[in-house]
Amino acid sequence: MEKKIESDKSFLGTEPVGKLLFRLAVPTVTAQMINMLYNVVDRIYIGHIPKTGALSLTGVGVCMPLIMIVSAFAALVGNGGAPRATILMGKGEKDQAEQILGNCFVTQILVSLVLSVMLFLFNRPILLAFGASSNTIEYAVEYMNIYAVGTIFVQMTLGMNMFITSQGFARTGMLSVLIGAVANLILDPVFIFGFQMGVRGAALATILSQALSCIWVLSFLFGKKTVLQIKKNCMKLKGSVILPCLALGSSLFIMQASESVISVCFNTSLLKYGGDVAVGAMTILTSVMQFAMLPLQGIGQGAQPIMSYNYGAGDQTRVKKTFRLLLKVDMCYAVGLWALIMLFPQVFAAVFTADPVLIAFTKRALRIYTAVLFLFGIQMSCQMAFNSLGNAKASIIVAVMRKFVLLIPLIYIMPHIFRADQTMAVYLAEPVADFLAVSFTSVLFLSQFQKMLSKNVSKNTEEKTVA
């Protein structure tokens, strides 16, 4: 498949959509699932550390908002630049696409350096503000001190790998993540238990694994097998090149960064009403939610090159066909996972901890937290379509509505409405916000999708007429 891509860049506009989505989505979904192993495997091993497992798990869970911020900045650059580069490929403008790649590469480095310094110097006060208690702060600081040093590897791997998958090299993108995940699986038990480093060992294993992935990603993008190549003459930052990328990526940045803000809101509220057990359960809930979010993102990433390329080429039919297929697949996955969680919540909880008290508490919380997960296929499909077609405004509106307008206020409102069980009322904020957000996103998408396609066709016609 990837040999074909090298010789024929128009395959995104000619191959059958179903077959093409399968070929591109399977590796990207696999990559997302593998990527999930980085944090999830850490939590599984940490949760089973003798004697201190439950507190260590809670401490690392408090670190998740900071880790989400790192991932959000990678999305800001990578997920903003990659769709624009693919659209330009669809128009046959390779040089402009490589300008985007080079500018995003330099921006990613600068952002990484700033984040590393900030995370290393100020992690303790930030973690205390994010919900760490006197019982868990030391575990959280130990993890973040080491993780901060490897921020650049995380940034480069997550952000620049998008430029590999967006060109259609889905298998190579999957291998980028697989290399790091396999290394992490091997190094985690060695450092955590073999060298008895505890949470510090988990952090060290993570950044070393990400460093291996980073080497693979950059070797490919600097090499000769890629269609778009990182070139020295494209690295000079230009506002006209990088700012539209950041504008487009801002929707996913807001979506992921808001997860960090929301995690803080959840942790502080849960610490108030339920103590360390409730915060520990939240760590498990967010881990389980990744089983939903990351595969849906992977399917969307498989569809993104098809939609972006054909949008750039002015082929409305293929764009619509791709979206309809994306929606069907996302809905099937979301409904299936929701059913499993509703039927076997204790199984999901037991993966992360052996503490019977935490398992019993999480079992009930998980059913509440994921109550409307079956609708999330709609949200993710529409979000990816807006992003793939370069509609930064709609993407930002959707992201802001779900998290900032709905969920954050509800986290604080729900405990005052359901006073009988205020801790569970905090978890209830998630499904209420998700239901309202999906309703809003669906209405917005139905009103905007055809307008975006028609406007692009008119623009392409005008450009051809002028030419």
- For the stretch 126-149, pLDDT in tens is 898 887 888 889 999 999 999 999
The answer as to whether 235 is a domain residue is: yes
Largest Cα span, the chain: 73
pLDDT at position 346: 92
- Angle formed by the axes of helices 422-466 and 392-400, nearest 10°: 170
Residue 8 within a domain: no
Sorted by sequence, the CB contacts under 8 Å of residue 177 that are 6+ apart come out as 31, 32, 34, 35, 157, 161, 213
| Spatial contact of 249 and 78, defined as CB atoms under 8 Å apart | yes
Amino acid at 421: D
The tens digit of pLDDT for each residue in 146-159 reads 999 999 998 999 89
């929606």: which residue's tokens?
327
- In this predicted model, what pLDDT tens digit does every residue of 401-430 receive, in sequence order? 888 899 999 999 999 999 999 999 999 999
The pair of three-digit structure tokens given for residue 420, joined into one six-digit string:
């009988």
Structure tokens at 216: 């693979």
Q: pLDDT (tens digit, 9 = 90+) per residue, 237-262?
A: 999 999 999 988 887 787 777 777 88
Find out whether 325 and 21 touch, Cβ atoms under 8 Å.
Answer: yes
Question: pLDDT at residue 462 above 60?
Answer: no
384 part of a folded domain: yes
The pTM score is 0.67
Residues contacting 215, CB < 8 A, separation 6+: none
Residue 1 lies in a domain: no
Q: According to the model, what pLDDT value does residue 129 have?
A: 82
**Among 170, 143, 175, which Cα is nearest to 56's?**
143
pLDDT of 266 higher than 80: yes
Whether residue 143 lies inside any domain: the answer is yes
d(CA 208, CA 190): 13
Taking 60 as the threshold, does the pLDDT of residue 464 lie above it?
A: no
Sign of the torsion angle spanned by Cα atoms 381, 373, 165, 26: negative
Name every residue whose Cβ is closer than 8 Å to that of residue 260 and which is 6 or more positions away in sequence.
64, 65, 66, 68, 69, 72
Local structure of residue 166 (DSSP, 8 states): T
Other residues' Cβ atoms within 10 Å of the Cβ of residue 422:
17
Q: How many domains does the chain have?
A: 1
Is 211 within the bounds of a domain? yes
Show the 3-state SS of 298-331.
Answer: HHHHHHHHHHHHHHHHCCHHHHHHHHHHHHHHHH
User: Would you tell me how many other CB atoms lie within 10 Å of the CB of residue 233?
Assistant: 8
Amino acid at 427: Y
For residues 443 and 432, give the distance between their C-alpha atoms in angstroms, rounded to a whole number: 17
Q: Could you give the CA distance from residue 226 to residue 224 in angstroms, rounded to a whole number?
A: 6
Residue 204 and residue 148 in contact, taking contact as beta carbons nearer than 8 Å:
no
d(CA 453, CA 462): 14
Where is pLDDT greater, at 258 or 84?
Answer: 84
Contact in structure between 300 and 376 (CB atoms under 8 Å) = no
Would you say residue 467 lies in a domain? Answer: no
**Residue 310 maps to a domain:** yes
Going from the C-alpha of 269 to that of each of 32, 411, 426, 427, 436, the distances in angstroms are: 30, 8, 7, 10, 22
Identify the domain containing residue 101 by its residue range.
15-462
For the segment 431-459, the average pLDDT, to the nearest whole number, is: 86
pLDDT(231) > 80: yes
Q: Residue 165: pLDDT above 50?
A: yes
Is the model's pLDDT at 332 over the cut of 60? yes
Distance CA 110, CA 120 (A): 16
- Tens digits of residue pLDDT in 57-81: 778 878 888 888 888 899 899 989 9
Q: What's the rounded Cα separation, in Å, for the pair 443 and 214?
A: 40
